[in-house]
Every structure is written in structure tokens, then in C-alpha cells.
């Protein structure tokens, strides 16, 4: 599965929340009538985005870049890194303000100048195996991550369930092991995704003549 680069000049807004789709296997009812479920991790991320900025049909316009990007994706066969808005801002694009901590706005990142948490993105404080759901993060940037904040590690996306002084419990479990010192992207998370189907690729070509808005449905890409 090739990793395709997103075209420039586009803005990406969430139309839905990032949600973990559950696939809970069951072996049916037992003799006592109770439903029997198999306990295993089978959740994966999905989301729907609105893409703006593809109406420019000039020689160097975004339209051509968007169509070429969709050609390279080849439906669900290839993947790409998608920006994830973290907190209250609806847009996710390089240079946008991205809130990551408390709901009152006391701690947040801002790309550029002004109210910037000096340490930047936190790092993993200790090695953790695949399947882990708790990480110790270094520095105040990890200490103040609020519940529901998103972060990514090597293109894998996670959401904070609770945070006690930088000891962060999250969902879903780590897809791969991480080592101490690994950067945890909270200011501008990126998740590796693909289109879920050929039908989703078709809908990504459709846009409004009024504003040039495209719909982009994505699912987590496990193939690396």
C-alpha cells in the first residue's frame, strides 16, 4: 500500500466525529440464554470530512491536484496521512490554531506566534508494547492533555480517556510498540487512512458548484 501525498491548497473539515467502529464477535447464546461475546480488539477509526478549495480550475489550481490525488489513491488500494482537528477548531490544516487541552482554553497550542506551549509535542517517557492502553508522557504538554484530546504516534490515532499528571489512558490500544523518546503529536495529529470502498472514491469526485466542497469518507489504514 503506497502512501500518497495530499494536494496543497486544500482545507479539511470534519463532518462527523472520529469514531471507533466496533465489530464485536459473538458465538451466540449459551445454554443459560446469555449472549456470549469474544473479547478481542477489533475496533477501527472512521470519519467523514468536507474538503474545500478544489474549485480553482486554473493551470496551477487545486482542482487538478485533487483529481490527480484521487487517481493515485486507486480507490481503497493506497493510503494517505490526514490532519485531525484537536479540540474546538473545526478546521485542520497546517498553520491553523489547534486546541488540545482544557475546555476553558487555559492551555492550548497555536501554530505561529503568541500563545504557544513552549515544550511543543510531548514524548513517550518509557517503552510500551503493542496492545498497551497507558503511556507516561513527558513534560507539561503531556500533563495537561484533556480527556477527549486526540494524538497520533507514527500515523496511528488515539483519543485520551483520562490523564493523571501525564499518565495517559487512551483508546484504541497501541497498534505497534513504541520506544521512549518517540514524539506524540498533539498539536497537529495525522492519521494514516484510506478510502473504505470504490463507492467512496466516486463520492470524493462529486462537488458543489457553489462552494467547491468535496466529501471524503475515510477509514483507518492498517496496511503499512
What pLDDT sits at residue 102?
38
* Band (106; pLDDT cuts 50, 70, 90): very low
C-beta separation of 45 from 78 below 8 A:
no
The pLDDT of residue 40 is above 80: no
The number of angstroms, rounded, from the C-alpha of 96 to the middle of its chain's C-alpha atoms is 16
Count Cβ atoms below 10 Å from residue 148 Cβ, excluding itself.
Answer: 12
Most confident listed range (16-20, 54-58, 86-90): 16-20
C-beta separation of 27 from 34 below 8 A:
no
The pLDDT of residue 185 is above 50: yes
% of residues, the chain, pLDDT over 90: 38
What mean pLDDT is predicted for residues 40-47?
87
Beta strands in the chain (DSSP E): 3-4, 11-14, 19-21, 26-29, 35-37, 44-52, 79-83, 91-92, 97-98, 109-110, 134-136, 150-153, 156-164, 167-171, 190-194, 213-220
What pLDDT sits at residue 80?
94
* Band (218; pLDDT cuts 50, 70, 90): very high
Average pLDDT value over all residues in the chain: 78
* Band (51; pLDDT cuts 50, 70, 90): confident
Write out pLDDT tens, residues 108-164.
344 433 334 445 789 999 999 999 999 999 977 788 788 888 899 999 999 999 999
C-alpha cell at 126: 518509557
What pLDDT sits at residue 7?
79
Write out pLDDT tens, residues 75-100.
999 999 988 876 544 444 444 444 33
What pLDDT sits at residue 179?
97
Write out pLDDT tens, residues 132-148.
999 999 977 788 788 88
Amino acid at each position: 500500500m503506497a502512501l500518497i501525498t495530499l494536494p496543497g491548497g486544500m482545507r479539511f473539515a470534519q463532518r462527523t466525529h472520529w469514531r471507533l467502529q466496533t465489530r464485536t464477535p459473538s458465538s451466540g447464546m449459551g445454554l443459560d440464554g446469555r449472549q456470549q461475546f469474544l473479547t478481542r480488539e477489533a475496533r477501527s477509526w472512521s470519519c467523514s470530512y468536507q474538503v474545500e478549495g478544489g474549485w480553482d480550475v486554473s493551470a496551477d489550481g487545486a482542482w487538478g491536484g485533487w483529481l490527480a490525488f484521487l487517481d493515485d489513491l486507486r480507490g481503497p488500494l493506497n493510503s494517505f496521512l490526514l490532519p485531525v482537528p484537536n479540540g474546538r477548531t473545526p478546521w485542520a490544516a497546517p498553520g491553523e490554531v489547534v486546541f488540545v487541552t482544557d475546555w476553558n482554553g487555559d492551555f492550548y497550542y497555536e501554530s505561529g506566534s503568541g500563545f504557544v506551549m513552549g515544550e511543543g509535542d510531548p514524548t513517550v517517557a518509557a517503552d510500551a508494547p503493542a496492545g498497551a492502553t497507558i503511556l507516561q508522557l513527558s513534560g507539561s504538554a503531556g500533563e495537561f492533555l484533556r480527556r477527549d484530546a486526540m494524538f497520533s504516534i507514527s500515523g496511528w490515532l488515539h483519543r485520551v480517556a483520562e490523564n493523571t499528571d501525564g499518565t495517559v489512558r487512551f483508546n484504541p490500544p497501541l497498534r505497534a510498540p513504541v520506544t521512549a523518546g518517540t514524539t506524540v503529536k498533539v498539536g497537529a495529529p495525522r492519521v494514516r487512512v484510506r478510502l473504505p470502498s470504490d463507492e467512496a472514491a466516486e463520492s470524493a469526485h462529486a462537488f458543489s458548484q457553489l462552494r467547491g466542497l468535496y466529501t471524503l469518507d475515510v477509514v483507518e489504514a492498517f496496511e503499512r
